[in-house]
Each structure stands twice: as C-alpha cells, then as structure tokens.
Structure 1
Amino acid sequence: MPIITKITRQKNNPERYNIYIEENYAFAVDESLLIKYQLSKDKVLEDWERDEILFDDEVRKAFNKALHFLSFRMRSEHEVKKKLIDAEYGEAVVLEAIQKLYQLGFLNDESFSRALLETQKKTGKKGPRVIQQELKKKGIKKSLQEEVLETYTEEDQTQIAQGLADKIANQQSSNTPRQVKQKIQDTLLRKGYNYAIISKVIAEINFETETEEWEEMIAKQGDKIWRTTSSKYKGYDRVRRVKQALYQKGFPSEQIDIFIEKKELEEDGN
C-alpha cells in the first residue's frame, strides 16, 4: 500500500508542500489541499485519491492563473477558457476552474457584455452592429448579445451618432456638402449604425453654403485638379475632366464654369 513517508515545505513557495511516498518525491500541493485531504506522514494514499488530489491541484493553479488574467480587466468566459487552454490545462480542469470563477463572482458573461456595451458606447462611440461583432468575437452567446443590445435604445444611438456627425461636419467645413455627407455616412456605417439612424442625423445638419464659401472651396480643391490634369490633357479634354472631377465632389455647375473660365483667363494672360 502506498504510504506518505515525508512532507516538506518548499523553500521558494512556503504555501506549497512536497509529498513523498515510500521515501520518493511523488507530487506537490497547496497548503489548502494538504488540509482538505488531511495529508500527513504515514497516511495510506490510494491511487484514486492521489489522482483526485492532483486534479484538484491543477484546478487551483488554473483558477489562480485565470484570476491573474482577470485582474487587468473584465473578460468573457470564452477569453478565460482560451487563455487556460493555451496554457495547456486539460479541458476538465478548465471547465472546473471556470465553474469556480462563476460561483465566486469573478466571471459573469452578462456583466461583461453590459460593461463592454457601455464602454463601446461612451469611448468608442460605436453603433449596435459593431458592438454585436465585438460580443460575438468574445464568445458571447447570440441570445445574450441580443438581450444586451436591446438596452441600446434608438434615442441613445441617435444622440451618439449626431455628436459624431456634428464633429465631422465642423472638421470638414472646407469640403462640399456632398463630400461632408459622404464622410459622415462612411464613418457612421463603419462605426456600426444603420441607414435609418444615419439619414436621421444627416437631416439635422445645416448644409447651406454661401457663394463666398463655394468660391473658397472650389479654389482650394479645383487648383489641385487643374494642375494635375495639365500634364496629361489639353484643351477641351482637360476642361471636361476638371468639370467631371469637380461635379463628383458636389460643386454646382455655375461655380465650376466660373472657376474654369477664371483658370483659362489666367493661363491666357501668362
């Protein structure tokens, strides 16, 4: 019968003990397991009991590693499970450690999902579609994704999207209304908002442009186009291409005609 013949405390980790069976080193355990299984010198240790102790010790180590991983920020069950599996803990050990984390309140996918939603709303200014992709990537079940996203009201979405749209409109003041609208739409789509919300916030922005503003904008953007086409195109072909480029940017036809006439006069004068 296997008998414990010696128990010694480890020098580098006083909370762990080395167990010797028949004078040979067998395994090491935490102090808590030493107490739990009442391990002592001369105790008979059956093979099944030893296996149970070793399993328990692995679970404890996996649990502690997960706690360290969780100490930096909240994580989903999927993230913690992947971390432990990557650390080469067995599936049964990982599942046991995960269950223990849930029981002690260190892990909760619902709380994690709601926290992620609030963070993405407030700091990332993200819309529902992108947030759902994030939740999916974190391994959150679809039913929980939908439950959490239901709390992201249309009013909240509109308010956040409107703030983003107003900021873009202010930053893009030297561009045409068409360019600004396109920039707003592209940004909000990338952030995860739907077309209904995007249309709603764009409708709230005043895109009226005075003649002086058109002249300033077309001078800035048109000069570059006029220069870049000079080496490749001449005469009517050049004028046609400049007109097309400016029209695509949203400039009115009358402003384009005035600009081209001015540029042609400048060149003729030289």
Structure 2
Amino acid sequence: MPRSTSREATVRPTGEGGTETQAKELCLRLLTDRARSRAELSERLAKKGYSADISERVLDRLSEVGLVNDADFAQQWVQSRHTYSGKGKRALAMELRRKGIGQEHASEALAQIDSEDERERATELVAKKLRTLSVDDRDRAVRRLVSMLARRGFSQGMAFEVVKEQLDHLGDDTDGMFDDG
C-alpha cells in the first residue's frame, strides 16, 4: 500500500472524500486551467472520493455564481476547436457528448458553425496540407486529404468537393510552369 504524503493527509481525511471547501478548491483549481463542463467537474470530484451530496452542493454553488455553465462552455468549446483545431461539426458533437454536454446545449453551440464556415475551414486545412504533400499520384493525394478531413469530423461529400476543388486549383497554378515553350 503506497504511503500518502502529509499534504494528502491534510486534504482528505482517511475514509472520507473531503469537505465541501476542499471540493470547491479542487473545482476552482481545475477551472483555472480551462473552462469545464459540470459533468467533467462531477467526474473529477467522484474520482477524488467526494460524496455525491458534497459534489452536488459545490457544483450548484459554482453554477449560481456563473463559474460553471454548460451552455457557455459548449459555445466556447465549439468556437475554439473549430477555429484553432480545425474540427468539423461531427467531431465537435462527439467531443461535447464526451464532455457531458446535453443535446440542447450542444445543438445551440454547433448552430454557430454554418456550412459555409465549415467548408471554408476545410479548404484552409487542405490548402495548408497541400504545401507539404506530394501530388505526383493524384488518387493517393485525394485519399490522404479526404481521410485527414474525415478524421477531423468533416462530411465525406464536403471533403471530396473541397479536395477536388483545391487539387484542380493547384493544377491551374502549375499549368505551363514546366513547358519548354
């Protein structure tokens, strides 16, 4: 049995999850890293051994003061992950589900991304990838680019359209560059 440090002994008395104050402090520490959903905080409190009653009271209080808000969390998460990680709606919906966000909040957050925004982001991702990808074998390039977009949660139809469009555009840009004329 591993020995506990003196800090652990003061934070969590033997046989108990800890006090409401300690649970609140844990949540506040977690919230300083990044916004978190209520379900994420609840899960972390449970892992640390806090009772459901204490967790519920702490999370209710944090919600009352506006530090825990699943609707705001979902909006921020979708905006950030779409903009900076290049995630499509399908991938974002799965991430929100894993974070414990309800369908209503997830739908509202995902509504901020329209099909034109999603297509534009997919186009940016393909254009960036094409700078480092060899297109000697067009079929292979198409497979790799469509796979990249699929992993990021973009629909297959949109992925094929964007990839074809970008490869055609790339072909237009290189036409005549290697002519002997």
Give the TM bin, normalised by the shorter chain.
0.7 to 0.9
Aligned position for 2:72: 111
Among 34, 55, 73, the alignment partner of 1:73 is: 34
Bigger Cα Rg: 1
Q: Deviations over 1:76-118 (max 9, x none)?
A: 1111111111121111111011000001111111111111111
Give aligned-pair identity as a percent: 23
| Contact residue 135 and residue 141 of structure 2 kept, 8 A | no
Higher strand share: 1
**Secondary structure of the residue that 1:70 maps to in structure 2?**
helix
Q: CA RMSD in A?
A: 2.1
Match of 2:21 in 1: 60
Write the deviation string for residues 240-265 of structure 1: whole angstroms up to 9, x where unpaired. Answer: xxxxxxxxxxxxxxxxxxxxxxxxxx
Q: Give the structure 2 partner of residue 162 of structure 1.
A: 123
**2:134 — aligned with what?**
173
- Paired residues in the alignment total 157
AA matched with 1:143: E
Equivalent in the alignment of 1:144: 105
Higher alpha-carbon deviation: 83-92 or 203-212: 203-212
| Cα pair 2:126 2:163 within 8 Å, conserved | yes
Runs of 4+ with >4 A deviation: 209-213
In the alignment, residue 176 of structure 1 is paired with which amino acid? Answer: D
User: Which among 114, 117, 124 is matched to residue 85 of structure 2?
Assistant: 124
Distance in 1 between the 2:80 and 2:65 partners? 24
CA distance in 2, matches of 1:186, 1:134: 19
Q: Is the 8 A contact 2:74 2:106 kept in 1?
A: yes
Structure 2, gaps ≥5 residues long: 1-17
Pairs within 5 Å for 1:5-24: none
**Higher relative contact order by CA 8 Å / sep ≥ 6: 1 or 2?**
2
Tell me the secondary structure at the aligned position of residue 71 of structure 1: helix
Q: Does the CA-based 8 Å contact 1:168-1:183 persist in structure 2?
A: no
Tell me, in whole angstroms, the C-alpha distance in 2 between the residues paired with 1:71 and 1:170: 37
Q: Which of 90, 96, 103 is the aligned partner of 1:135?
A: 96
Normalised by the length of structure 2, the TM-score is: 0.79
Question: Letter of the aligned partner of 1:91 in structure 2?
Answer: A
Is this contact kept in 1: 2:23–2:55, CA < 8 A? yes
The 5 Å alignment of 1:15-34 reads: none
Q: Work out whether 1:91 is the aligned partner of 2:52.
A: yes
Letter in 2 for 1:99: D
